[in-house]
Amino acid sequence: MRHKRTIPNRSFRVADQIQRDVAELIRELKDPRIGLVTINAVEVTPDYAHAQVFFSLLVGDPHECEVALNEAAGFVRNGLFKRLAIHTVPTLHFKFDQTTERALELSSLIQKANATRAKED
């Protein structure tokens, strides 16, 4: 019984460590298409074969950045091999995370609605 409980915890720990290490490794990339990237989350498959790496972007083109990050995924993965103490280092798949962008849009819409309502009152 005890062994089954540790597997999800280990998966979360591995994902958390990958998130930190990938964030550091990305800073070493010299590709101009990669802007100011924040790694928001990492989801690792149960067999550790693949990891979805969700990122947001402060400056730059999201599509171009995603393409560049996926082209550099092998380099980043090699960096993880040197840092992680696990048998299988997952293949990385970078995906632009629109959550932050959507939140900013919604916040802007709410502010506009409130400003319009204040003018009407």
Residue 58, pLDDT score: 85
pLDDT band at 8 (very low <50, low <70, confident <90, very high): low
Domains contained in the chain, number: 1
Beta carbons of 102 and 67 less than 8 angstroms apart: no
Give Cα separations from 53 to 25, 26, 44, 85 (angstroms).
13, 12, 9, 19
pTM: 0.76
pLDDT band at 105 (very low <50, low <70, confident <90, very high): confident
Task: State which residues form the domain around 80.
Answer: 2-120
Q: Give per-residue pLDDT as tens, 13-64.
A: 899 999 999 999 999 999 999 999 999 999 999 999 999 999 999 888 999 9
Q: Is the pLDDT of residue 96 over 80?
A: yes
CATH number at residue 71: 3.30.300.20
Q: Is the pLDDT of residue 103 over 50?
A: yes
| Residue found under tokens 């400003």 | 115
Residues sharing a CB contact under 8 Å with residue 84, sequence separation 6 or more, in sequence order: 14, 17, 18, 21
Average pLDDT over residues 71-100: 91
What is the DSSP-derived secondary structure letter of residue 89? P
Any idea how long the chain is? Answer: 121
**Could you tell me if residue 55 is left (phi over 0), alpha (psi between -120 and 50 degrees) or otherwise beta?**
beta
